[in-house]
Structures are given as structure tokens and as C-alpha cells.
Amino acid sequence: MSGAPGIPIMTRAQRSHPLDPLSAAEIAVAVATVRAAGRTPEVRDSMRFVEVVLLEPEKNVVALADAYFFPPFQPSLLPRTKGGPVIPSRLPPRRARLVVYNKQTNETSIWVVELSEDAMEYAECEATVKDFPPFIEAMKKRGIDDMELVMVDAWCAGYYSDADAPNRRLGKPLIFCRTESDNPMENGYARPVEGIHVIVDMQNNVVIEFEDRKFVPLPPPDHLRNYTTGETRGGVDRSDVKPLIISQPEGPSFRITGSFVEWQKWNFRVGFTPKEGLVIHSVAYVDGNRGRRPIAHRLSFVEMVVPYGDPNEPHYRKNAFDAGEDGLGKNAHSLKKTETTRV
């Protein structure tokens, strides 16, 4: 789509208009996000989703979308300020509004979930594979008729030959199978599905290669693979570990003011990005008469590569770039319990 002379256009196509109703994949992502935020298995199991709807955007967002979605390009529809039209590079993420009733606590809460492009893409890839008839038949050969038990992880295909040339966005999903569809504590990765080769065109949500290469029986169900409290060999927890008690009766040795941290002679600022996660800025050391001595301008994890080291198919392709491909920040979880009802 081309814009009017002198007017830049969005660099990435928008797949959904901000007022399009939520798709099945978006609803699934929103529900899974809220359920995962439950503090305990009991809270998660007691969630009842009364309503999941699109949180309609502000008028200026709708106007911006209309300017791009309805050709010819209409700059007159763009929101304006005193300095001229506002030209963002992309529309803001769509959001879902959920009304959740908790049967255990008899409380109703309202949640707002931001539907990121990555989360949507993964959900759409899973739906595409699970709707593919040859894949359904392959799972039936392994004794699985319920697609709700199947987990499809949309891994990057990597680059191992010219077939992986980066002229398309390819996903090479890894398949796993749960034993219970309604157990939030189940370790679904305990039962990998081996022998299935599948490649998905992530841009168009199409399976472009599929082959059931080798029948490998699924690992038998075993609740001990969940590694939850009490679920150990013999049914009892270890008793040979002595208690560890950490106490600071006078408080911690550090001081936090907003995002600024002071610890002994060190001080720095804490930031956060979706890709890198934790970022530390302006690290300095108070060095006697020299005063505040700068040590580092910016520190972060640029990338974290996880080579799995198995030369067999498909595992040799499992070399995940956790920052660039998935986002360390987007996958971070707080170590501090909170009582918030919004995400």
C-alpha cells in the first residue's frame, strides 16, 4: 500500500482491524494468559470466564486504522496535532477484556490482556497444525483422538540448507502431548511426540511440508513427571535437607528510590525491555576522593542461545535464540506475589 507524497506508511501490514471481533486464537490466548496468572492451582481451577470481548480502542486509533485499511490511502483521516498528522509505524496491539468469576473465593474481577503479535502467531500456528487432517491421523496412530491434549510449539526453522533460505517466515513446530486437558500443573513437555516432520508458513498459516516419518510410542502417563510437592518416587519429599533461614533484622543493605539502586559504594538504574528483560544503566562506584566513577553505560543480555546438543531429527534444529526469537522480557515472571487483577 502506498501513501500520499511525503507521508510515511506503516512498515508492517496489520492483519486485523482494531474493531474486528476477537478471533478464536485471540480468545484462547487471553484466557490462557489470565489462567496462568492465578497464584495457585486451586485459584486457576476455580476460574470461570463469564465474558471475553474486544476492548474497543480509542477513536483516534480507529481513525488511523481506517486511513490505512480502506484504499486509496486517506491522510485526511489521520489524527492530527498542532504539528501535523501523527504517523505511527504500526497500530497499537489489540486488547481483550475478560470478566472472570472465581468460584472458590466468590469474587468477580475484570482483566485486560494485551494481545501481542508473537502470542497470536504461536496460537495460530498451533491451530493450523491441529486442524491439518494428516496430522490428526498421525496422532490417532499414537492413540490420541483429543486435540486439546496436543501442544504445538512453533519453533524457528533455523538455517541448515538452501531450503531454509530467509525468503519466507518458516516454523518447524515441536509436538508434545498432555495426559489431562484440565490440569494446569501438568508438565506437558514430559511426553514428546517423535517421528512427525512438519513445516509451517508462518505468514500465511499453511502447512507446506508434512511427513509421518517414524512411529515412536508416546511415553506412558506418569504424574511424577509434574515435579509438584509430594509427587516423588515413594510419595514422600526428601527429609535430609536442613532448614535455611535468611534474616535481616535491620533491613537490607541496599536502597531503592524509584528505579535507582544504591548498594554499598555501587549505584545504578534498573530498566526493562520486552526483548532483553532486565537492563542495568549507568553503573558507577563511589571511589573515595575520585567521587562517582562510571563503570558501565548499559548492561543487558544481548542474546541467550540454548543448543540442545542432540544430533537426531528434529532435535538438532533446537538452537533457540531466547531473546531475539521469543523475548526474554516477555517471558519473565515476577518472583514477588501481587494481588493485582489486571495484566
The answer, yes or no, to whether residue 110 has pLDDT greater than 90, is yes
Radius of gyration, CA atoms only, the chain: 25
Confidence at 188, pLDDT banded by 50, 70, 90: confident
All three cell numbers of 281, joined, read: 544503566
Average pLDDT, the chain: 80
Domain-by-domain residue ranges, the chain? 24-114, 120-160+167-212, 254-326
Q: What is the pTM of this model?
A: 0.62
Q: Do domains 24-114 and 120-160+167-212 have the same CATH topology?
A: yes
Q: What beta strand segments (E) does the chain contain? A: 47-54, 80-81, 84-85, 94-102, 107-115, 150-153, 170-171, 174-177, 196-201, 206-212, 254-257, 260-263, 266-273, 277-286, 292-300, 305-307, 319-321
**CATH architecture for residues 120-160+167-212:** Roll (3.10)
Start-end of H helices in the chain: 24-36, 41-45, 59-69, 117-130, 133-141
Q: Are 74 and 9 contacting, i.e. CB atoms less than 8 angstroms apart?
A: no
Amino acid type, 72: P
All three cell numbers of 23, joined, read: 478471533
The pLDDT, as a whole number, for residue 69 is 63
SS3 category, 35: helix
The pLDDT, as a whole number, for residue 41 is 77
The answer, yes or no, to whether residue 135 has pLDDT greater than 90, is yes
Domain 24-114 fold is: Nuclear Transport Factor 2; Chain: A, (3.10.450)
The pLDDT, as a whole number, for residue 184 is 62
The answer, yes or no, to whether residue 12 has pLDDT greater than 60, is no
The least confident of 213-217, 261-265, 326-330 is 326-330
**Residue 77: which residues within 8 A CB-CB, separation 6 or more?**
63, 64, 66, 67
